[in-house]
Amino acid sequence: MVAAAGIFQSVPDSIRADKWLWAARFFKTRALAGEILGNGKVKRNGHTLKRSSSIQPGDMLEVPFVEGPGVREIHVKAVIEKRVGAPEAQACYEDLTKPEVYEVLKNWQIARSEAASGRPTKKDRRAIDGIKEDWEWGI
C-alpha cells in the first residue's frame, strides 16, 4: 500500500497491456494502443500480446514506433494505471533499443518530410510569385 495525500492506494501487480502502453506514453490514445495490440504488433518475450493481456514488472516488450519503421525493446520496471508526465513514465521502463534503430527512424522521417514537399502552400506560392515578378522586371 502506498499513501498518497492521506488516501491509501494499492499498487497493482499487473495491468492490461493497452492501459500500460498508453499510461507509459508509447501511444497517444488508449484506442491506438489497443489497435496496435489487436493487430499483433506488440510482443512480449517473442509472443504477441492481446489488449487484455497483463503486463508485469520484468516483462520484455517489443513495441513498434508509430512514427515510422522499427521496434523498441522495452524492459518493464513498474506498472502504472494512470497517464503521468514523461519523466515519471520513463521511470517505469528501461529502453534497451539499439541506437542504430533510432538512426534509421530519424533518416526515414527526414526522407519522408522531404518527399512530402509537393504542392506549395499559399504562403510559398506568394513568395514564388514575388520572386517571379522581380525576375520579370529585371530588378
In whole angstroms, give the CA distance from residue 40 to residue 34. Answer: 10
Q: What is the mean pLDDT of residues 92-101?
A: 94
Model pLDDT, residue 9: 52
Question: Is 112 in the same domain as 138?
Answer: yes
In whole angstroms, give the CA distance from residue 65 to residue 135. Answer: 46
Model pLDDT, residue 105: 85
Question: Is 47 in the same domain as 106?
Answer: no
122: containing domain: 98-139
Question: Is 29 in the same domain as 12?
Answer: yes
C-alpha cell, 20 = 500500460
Question: Is 44 in the same domain as 13?
Answer: yes
Question: Is 93 in the same domain as 118?
Answer: no
More confident residue, 29 or 112: 29
Q: What is the mean pLDDT of residues 116-124?
A: 76
Q: What is the mean pLDDT of residues 53-74?
A: 92
